[in-house]
Amino acid sequence: MPLGRPSLSPLHILKLVRHLPQFAKLFWRLFRDRRVPLRAKAVLVGAFVYMLLPMDLLPDILPFVGVADDITVLLLAGRWFLSLCPPDVVQEQVKALSEEAAGS
């Protein structure tokens, strides 16, 4: 497997699902942070608008396949969003979330 490509093994998917609440918190904190560029925030807004629109590349009527395009758009938008955020801001927010989790 080439470097930089995430594995889609069942174990990796389970880890991703388990960490979804933390990702959601991180994305929300970054979205509210004034240091994050507007174009990064626009990527997330665009992904959520795509999910809410009744038009899809693949109709949601099709089992699994219909939802796959929504999931793909969200995953790609999430990666793109993080790549557009200043790395120091991302690290700061990750550290703050870790400290909050340790304090709980």
Backbone angles phi, psi at 7, to 5 degrees: -80, 145
Backbone angles phi, psi at 15, to 5 degrees: -65, -40
Domain assignment of residue 7, yes or no: no
What's the domain count of the chain? 1
Please state the pTM of the whole predicted model. Answer: 0.75
Domain assignment of residue 66, yes or no: yes
Distance CA 81, CA 57 (A): 21
Tens-place pLDDT, residues 73-96 = 888 999 999 999 999 999 999 999
Residue 60's domain comprises 24-103
Residue bearing the bigger pLDDT, 72 or 12: 72
Distance CA 61, CA 36 (A): 36
Domain assignment of residue 18, yes or no: no
77 and 30 Cβ atoms separated by less than 8 Å: no
